[in-house]
Amino acid sequence: MRLVKQLGTVAVVAFVGSLVMRAAGGSGWMALLAGVATGVLALLAYRWVVRRTEHREPVEVGRSGAGRALGRGLLIGVGMSATVIAAMAVLGGYRVDGWGSVPGAAGLLGLAVAAGVTEELLFRGVLFRIVEQRTGTWVALAFTAVLFGAMHLVNPNATLWGAVAIAVEAGAMLAAAYAATRTLWLPIGLHVGWNFALGGVFGAEVSGAGTSTGLLDGVTSGSVLLSGGEFGPEASLLAVLAGVTMTVVFLRLAHRRGRLVARPRRQVRASETATV
């Protein structure tokens, strides 16, 4: 029941936020404000519902070390995006045709913040965390990664391969990032940094959601496995390779820190263990 209440609370904030951002129309600055407001309200809603349903302090979004973890996540996300785009450019799958739009980039930053915060709260803060308590890290990681990829099938230019790529490179990586740090701040920063750099800086398509107008007028071309096609670079094998690499890094870190949760053994009924 707590899972339903927590998912519902954050989902309502995300839905209302999406309506407000849509009402902002073509104003990138209004979309930025709406996106940041959505992220803040979602965090407050998550803290409130966790306290109410679990009767504990939600340390996974605690203030201690939040700035450092968020900053590290942003750097990793931007660095991954820049690395993938640079590799695509070298291989002939990306080029810059000129400058884009600053207001457009501002609107994409707002979208990145809203999506990054709400999706991390829903998928890693609620689903992964609660499922992990019942099944262990590995099952929870696989389960939430598949759901995260499937969610992207509703995007305008979605493809089955794109959803699989998102599940592998992002769903698994972000869950592993949470498992390694036990804070949502790093995966939130990573998610926001990746999305904004990809669309808001390099002007590439993000998860097939629609044409991106970032700081640069970026154009992708070539085979789908190189450029990602209409879904964007996230469907590129380069992005999948980068995501898998970071997933391994985070899982190794989680193992070294003793933060991988084993699958709980089934409790034996008292009647079966009673001695005669």
Q: Round to whole Å and give the CA distance between 81 and 183.
A: 22
What 8-state DSSP symbol labels residue 276?
Answer: -
Tell me the pLDDT tens digit for each residue of 43-72. Answer: 999 999 999 999 999 999 999 999 999 999
* Cβ 118 vs Cβ 14: under 8 Å: yes
Q: Is 4 helix (H, G, I), strand (E, B) or coil?
A: helix
B/e letters for 57-82, b = 16+ CB within 10 Å, e = fewer, are ebebbeeeebeebbebbbebbbbbbe
For residue 154, the Cα-to-chain-centroid distance in whole angstroms is 16
User: Alpha-carbon dihedral of residues 152, 252, 79, 85, nearest 10 degrees?
Assistant: -60
Residue 6 pLDDT > 70, yes or no? yes
pLDDT band (50, 70, 90) for residue 87: very high
> Model pTM?
0.92
Q: Is 101 helix (H, G, I), strand (E, B) or coil?
A: coil
pLDDT band (50, 70, 90) for residue 1: confident
Domain ranges, ordered by start, for the chain: 64-262
What residues does 31 pair with on adjacent strands?
none
Q: Round to whole Å and give the CA distance between 242 and 91.
A: 16
Average pLDDT over residues 109-118: 95
User: Under 8 Å CB-to-CB from 7, ≥6 apart: which residues?
Assistant: 122, 126, 127
pLDDT band (50, 70, 90) for residue 269: very low
Nearest by Cα to 191 from 97, 96, 138, 123: 123
For residue 192, the Cα-to-chain-centroid distance in whole angstroms is 7
